[in-house]
Structure 1
């Protein structure tokens, strides 16, 4: 019987396995990942931003973990030769309503202990000549890195410490008994096919499949049930000739009612600049091509009452996002609000990402991290941005919870 099995080879799952082995050298730890490589979904399709924690409610898990996580991410990258850059970020207000929201955001960020500089429109233009707005907030501690590279380094650390990482291995069942948890598995990088593993503890970091694996453990039914609603985040990339259009990351002021940050300009660690993401309801949890539909995923969305409540509450925003998804001109207008000189020819293709957004039966979008547990399992049900930035403290928290569940 293994000591711990971690389900999911994204950054949260791998950091959790790494944390177990750090605390208990020699523990028998296995990571199982259904894809052929680690970091194939959310971790490998995000903006690569090391967040500072500007948006998060003081005292929330997001706020608590983000500052610590950013520092630990930089340390880990330094230790393993993974490139990162402290670019800073400008949150730009382009309307009077956004100026008022920016003031509220500034108070929240200061309550989280961040170093900030408020800028007038003229000061913004002086700092970033190609960006315009009525006001801006400069967040000093924001950076960028390569989270997929961090995952590969974490997997190597797990193996070096005596753990195992099995790819191409999907979980088909979770059966918890008094002495351990039996996982039914399918596949395996060694071609083993259907098999099983038994562990004293299981931690499930399944991202886009979190609700389905939680249901296998009986922790996702009744009035507290949730579903993962996939939101496609579509990106473009600017041509190399536009690579110096900004020196920092440029974000709009977000709508406080939505868990998305808006279409932004992000410098990437390879020297490029991406535009995005938007947030479009996805009809396939793992379908990255535009127009992808998975009938099982679609049926799950249709059957869940929370989906319809989200649609009733946010239908205007949803229609606008869909319109801009199918119209590059509409997408461009979102960016031209703060970077007016960009043109349609500047929007080059870039792979999309898909965000796993937990939604409750009453239509509540879960904004913070959400864990559910049994005596021997811990399920990470919602790990939204800044989960990549915060992976190390999240992992510590998960292991604390798993230990308490013993």
Structure 2
């Protein structure tokens, strides 16, 4: 860590210490050895938000629209993540994933997903109900897709390893560096805040939950707002951690960017359930009932969210009910794992997803990146951004040239 407020001009500045920001800093220094770089993180540590509050899944890219950035970058990112982890001694496991259909409508969507996976070049196997039961005796469904390449990892450890490489390449990492102003000139960009100011020739903003606010500081003409969705998790008791051998997912609703409540073995030996998707009133408040007045005002007064609410009334009501009443949450899980009980659901820290919502109520599914003459802003980087971090970083640096 360097002292905040250094007066020198850097070649590059990166805002944001999540996995996308740190991967971008690493990629910049890999391509431009000997350059000066500073990474600014407002928290006291790296990976404290979306990177450190997720299911830890190395996704394979089965869900995403063919030709989208997500489809392309996820496939490449999954391979990179596994290779990086192996090279740096970071534990990971390729346990595979089952997407389980529980009724005729989900079965139809499952078959459509199978077709999409073929187009996206993802290795996948179509299972009938009997084969599903043989592989996972405690899971019930009309059929399933088995994605053998899906894995689990602790993405925070990936960030720690990348950050060490940034430091060894001469990069500075500054904590407690909240940015409240951005000023771009013909030659430089200055990022300033209560702790000091930093000037660089090029700047990348990977601000996650604050991406829209950072874009507005830069004067970008944005037509979206980040809406925080809380993803609430439970953890099964230790004696139930062997309930399943693979990741168990429902078949997702293609109109929504959320993957549904799933059973997830974690790399540290736990078995988690979740997440749901409930509107959050604090972008960085992980305790249930957290409210930040500025965040709440931004989201509740946003016309785009009002349109989302009208378009997804039933889904929103169900998610809220399941958040308030544990039995509703349990019912979602019991559709594919009927032996789960209320006593199996033990509290676990929630996550918060930064979801870009356009003014017309469109939920942005794909990665969204914009640039100015000297800045690149990552405006929307939801799941599978952790899996795709290094290909996203390469894409960012391409646009920074």
Q: What TM-score does the superposition give when structure 1 sets the normalisation length?
A: 0.96
After superposition, residues 348-387 of structure 1 pair within 5 angstroms as 348-387=346-385
State which of 314, 317, 325 in structure 2 corresponds to 1:316: 314
* RMSD value, Cα: 0.7
* Offset, 1:172: 1.2
Any conservation in 2 of the 1:185–1:197 contact (CA below 8 Å)? no
* Offset, 1:319: 1.0
Question: What CA deviation, in whole Å up to 9, does each residue of 1:326-379 have, x standing for no partner?
Answer: 111100000000000010000001000000000111111000000111111110
After superposition, residues 212-223 of structure 1 pair within 5 angstroms as 212-221=213-222
Any conservation in 2 of the 1:87–1:143 contact (CA below 8 Å)? yes
Any conservation in 2 of the 1:220–1:226 contact (CA below 8 Å)? no
* Offset, 1:78: 1.1
Distance (whole Å) between structure 1 residues aligned to residue 262 and residue 299 of structure 2: 28
Question: What CA deviation, in whole Å up to 9, does each residue of 1:224-269 have, x standing for no partner?
Answer: x110000000000011111111000000000011000000000100
Question: What CA deviation, in whole Å up to 9, does each residue of 1:70-112 have, x standing for no partner?
Answer: 0101111112111000000000000000000000000001111
Distance (whole Å) between structure 1 residues aligned to residue 254 and residue 154 of structure 2: 28
Q: Secondary structure at the match of 2:363?
A: coil
State which of 138, 141, 159 in structure 2 corresponds to 1:130: 138
Query: Structure 1 stretches (4+) deviating beyond 6 angstroms?
Result: none
Aligned to 2:3: none
After superposition, residues 45-56 of structure 1 pair within 5 angstroms as 45-56=53-64
State which of 166, 179, 192 in structure 1 corresponds to 2:174: 166
Question: What CA deviation, in whole Å up to 9, does each residue of 1:264-299 have, x standing for no partner?
Answer: 000100111100000000011011011111110111
Q: How many residues align?
A: 393
Instruction: Give yes or no for the alignment of 1:298 onto 2:299.
Output: no
Aligned to 1:7: 15
Structure 2 unaligned runs (5+)? 1-8
Any conservation in 2 of the 1:211–1:220 contact (CA below 8 Å)? no
Distance (whole Å) between structure 1 residues aligned to residue 331 and residue 303 of structure 2: 33
Distance (whole Å) between structure 1 residues aligned to residue 230 and residue 379 of structure 2: 18
After superposition, residues 3-42 of structure 1 pair within 5 angstroms as 3-42=11-50
* Offset, 1:220: 3.8
Aligned to 2:197: 196
